[in-house]
Amino acid sequence: MKTDKIAYIYISACILLFISMTTLGQKIYIDENTSYWYNTTSDLHIDHNLFVDENTIHLLLEINFNNQKIYDNYHYSYELHESYHTLDIKSTDTIDIQEHIVAIKANKIFVQLSLPYEDKIDIAIMRLTDKKTGIDYVYDIPLIKNYNFSSEGLVFYEQDSITPHLQNFAGINQRLMLKSINPYPGPVYCFYYNHNFDEAVPPMVIESQRAGRQLNIDSLFSVSINEPISFSKEGLYFFQKDSSSANGIAIRIQDKYFPLAKTFDAVLDPLIYISTRSETEKIRSASNPRQAFEEYWIDMVKIPNLATSTVRQYYDRVAAANYLFTTFEEGWKSDMGLVYIVYGPPNDVYKSEEIIDWVYNQDLSMPNIRFSFYKVKNVFTDYHYTLLRKKSYDKNWFKSVELWRDGKK
C-alpha cells in the first residue's frame, strides 16, 4: 500500500479541470432558475449518495422539508437524459414515494431508489412538483463517469443503522456506521488528514501559480462494514475498499456546533473575507479576544444595534455556507462559500456539466453580476467547483465588502 498515493488529490492544478471555454455558448439543459437549492429558507433541500454499476443507478436521497411542508405535498418523478444539452429523455416515470422511504427523521425523509442505467445517460433529474402551486423543483444528478470518482457503494448511516447520513460532515465523537450497497465483506481502509485548507481568495485575485499545499496522510487504519465508528479528531477522513484506487467516500469531522460558528476560531477565521489580516490578527492576539471582537464590529459599523444585527447576518451566511458547501474543506473556505457569504444566495442559477452560473440581480446599491464556477474532478467529492476569477470583479467586490463594513448589507 502506498501512503503517498493520494498526496496529489487536493492540488487543483494536478486534478483534471473540466473546463472548455466553448461551453459558455452551449445550451444548458437546466435552463430554468434552480437558485432554491442555494437558499436555506426555501421549501426543500436535498442531499444524495450515488453509486452506478453496470445497469443500475443506486440513489439515496435525503429530502429536507421547510416551511411546514411535508413529503405528501409533492408529486415525485425522475427523468434520465443523455446530457445537459439535449431535451431527449431516455427514460422517465413517476415515483410512489411512500414505497421508497427507508427512514423519517423530524422534517426529513430518506429515500432509496434503483433506476435503470445505460452508457448514454449522463444526467438524472429528480422532479418534485408542489401539488397546490404546481411549482417544480428540479434536482440534477450528474452521472458522467469521467467527471467523478466512484463511491464504490459505500454509504454512511447513523448509529441506528437505518437512517442514511448523507451530509458531507459530522460532529466530533459522533457515532456513524459504514455500509456497502453491493455485498462486501471488508475491511475498509481509512486515510485521515489533519490538514488546514486555505480559505478562498477574492474573485478578482488571479493567481495562476497558486496550488494547494501538499496533502499528507496523518494516519491510516481499517474499519469494518456495519460496525459503529466514532471520530475523536477533527479533519478529513477518506474511506476505500481498494486502497490502490482513487475511489471511495469522504467525510469531514468538525466541532459539535458545526455548521454553526461558535468556537473562537470558527468565528474569527471567516472574518477574513471582509477584513484585513492585520485586523483579524489584532483580535486573535488581544488579551481579551472576545472583547476585541465586539469592539472591532462596533468601531467599524459605529451603531451598536446595527453592529449586532450585522454580526448575526454575517454568521448566518457562514453557517449556511458550511451547510451547503462543505466537502473535503469547510464550506466557508470554498469558492462558492466565499461568494455566498459576501453576496448571499444567488437570484438565478443555471447549470451544465462543467459550469454552474450564479447571477445576482441589480438593486439600488449594486449592479448585476455573474459568477461562473467550473467543475474540478476531485476524489473526495463530486461537487468541487472553482470560480473563474476576473480582474473586472474588483470594484463590485470592494463595494460589497464596504457595505458589510458599514452595516448596510
Give the whole-angstrom CA distance, residue 332 versus residue 318. 6
Q: What are 92's strand-pairing partners?
A: 79
pLDDT value of position 176: 97
pLDDT value of position 212: 58
Q: Widest CA span of the chain, in angstroms? A: 64
**Pick from 156, 147, 209: which is nearest to 48 by CA?**
156
pLDDT value of position 18: 41
- Pairing mode of beta strands 169-171, 249-254: parallel
pLDDT value of position 148: 84
260: amino acid identity, one letter: L
Per-residue pLDDT of the chain (409 residues; tens, 9 = 90+): 444 444 444 433 333 444 333 333 334 455 678 999 999 999 999 999 999 998 999 999 999 999 999 999 999 999 999 888 777 788 999 999 999 999 999 999 999 999 999 878 889 999 999 999 999 999 999 998 788 899 999 999 999 999 999 999 999 999 999 999 999 988 999 999 999 999 999 999 987 555 556 889 999 999 999 999 999 999 999 999 999 999 999 999 999 999 999 999 999 999 999 999 999 999 999 999 999 999 999 999 999 999 999 999 999 999 999 999 999 999 999 999 999 999 999 999 998 888 999 999 977 777 899 999 999 999 999 999 999 999 999 999 999 999 999 998 8
Give the whole-angstrom CA distance, residue 44 versus residue 107. 10
14: amino acid identity, one letter: C
pLDDT value of position 211: 57
**Pick from 178, 39, 69, 87: which is nearest to 132 by CA?**
69
Enumerate residues 6+ apart whose C-beta is below 8 A from 37.
44, 45, 46, 139, 349
Burial degree of 4 (CB within 10 A; 0-12, 13-18, 19+): exposed
- CB-based contact 342:401 (threshold 8 Å): yes
pLDDT value of position 208: 56
Sheet holding 56-65, edge to edge: 44-52, 56-65, 108-116, 101-105
